[in-house]
Structure 1
Amino acid sequence: MEIRKLRQLIRMVQHSGIMELDIHVAGEQVRIRRGAASALPPVLLAPPQTTITAPQLATVPASHSPAPAQQAQCSPMPGTCYLAPAPGAAPFARPGQQVQAGDTLCIIEAMKLMNAIEAERSGTLAAILVADGDAVQAGTPLFRID
């Protein structure tokens, strides 16, 4: 299925009241689930099947802005976020780990291209805000470095 059509389906799920969309077309299956990825059971994918989890949207009151030490590093592009260099490999970084500016924290796959996302500044990786394999949009918070 074309990435353009997948993006349209993801937007449709995000802006509607439905929690899950399952489509079967020409031998391909696409399942889009809305909600926290951690609340979902693990899914093993077979080649013609794809599962996409829509990212969670958080609202922050306009008067509240986090202190500079707690601002999140966000995704520069839409795509699929991978926290390790390969399936089953150790993650690039773990919460509590010291990172230096320029260290690779994850990879975002966009249009079959792998883009390394590097730490914008040095510090302690306080939190990883996405799960491995999550679909992210430009501006989606990925990490918090204190």
Structure 2
Amino acid sequence: MDLRKVKKLIELLESSALVEMEITEGDSTIRLSRAAYSPAVAQPHPATAHITTDRVITDQPASARQDIETGQSQVEIIGSAVKSPMVGTFYESASPDLDPYVTIGSVVKPGDILCIIEAMKTFNQLEADITGIVKAIYKSSGDPVEFGEPLFLIE
């Protein structure tokens, strides 16, 4: 198996929520696995999203603590998460040389375009369904996204 393919698989595992993946190509098999971790358990609370991540972009400081077992930050942010409706690739603008559709602090209303998700060579616009201010953006252009994965936080 080509070293470039192995590196790409490692990047894919790191950028996804997968814990383990195994790929077989001809006679070669590679298994990649993250260190075991226990996800944080969130207590139900209206209009609060509990997010465990090592990459959160926000415009305001959030109360965070270091989880001793996983080494990841646990951040509590209040707002509505905009989730990916499909598997694909996230793009923050229609072209790399154009400004992003939204940035942190942007005011959005229903129908405003938040991003584009490319799936099977089709570019799908993701529109806001609520009015609010973009408080967090969880992906960068070119990042893979999974169905139901949070992309934006709107307050």
Q: 5, 15, 22: which one pairs with 2:4?
A: 22
Give 1:67's aligned residue. 47
Q: TM-score, normalised by structure 2?
A: 0.58
**Relative to total residues, which structure has the larger strand share, 1 or 2?**
2
The answer to whether the 8 Å contact 1:82/1:107 transfers is: yes
For residues 28-67 of structure 1, the C-alpha deviation after alignment (integer angstroms, 9 at most, x for no partner) is xx72334xxxxxxxxxxxxxxxx89633579441424562
Q: TM-score, normalised by structure 1?
A: 0.62
Give 2:101's aligned residue. 92
Gaps of 5+ in 1: 1-20, 25-29, 35-50
Residues 17-56 of structure 1: matches in 2 within 5 Å? 22-23=4-5, 31-34=8-11, 54-56=15-17
Higher mean C-alpha deviation, range 68-77 or range 134-143: 68-77
Identity rate of aligned residues, in percent? 38
What one-letter code is carried by the residue in structure 1 that aligns with 2:41? P
Aligned-partner SS, 1:143: strand
Give 1:105's aligned residue. 114
Q: Check 1:114–1:63 CA distance in 2 against 1; reply closer, same or farther (3 A cut).
A: same
Shift, 1:92, TM fit = 0.3
**Larger C-alpha radius of gyration, 1 or 2?**
2
What one-letter code is carried by the residue in structure 1 that aligns with 2:15? A
Q: Check 1:65–1:107 CA distance in 2 against 1; reply closer, same or farther (3 A cut).
A: farther
Aligned residues: 105
For residues 47-103 of structure 1, the C-alpha deviation after alignment (integer angstroms, 9 at most, x for no partner) is xxxx89633579441424562651211000000000011012100011001111110
User: In 2, distance between residues paired with 1:136 and 1:66?
Assistant: 26
User: In 1, distance between residues paired with 2:128 and 2:89?
Assistant: 18
Gaps of 5+ in 2: 19-37, 49-77
Give 1:80's aligned residue. 89
User: In 2, distance between residues paired with 1:86 and 1:66?
Assistant: 37
User: In 2, distance between residues paired with 1:66 and 1:83?
Assistant: 29
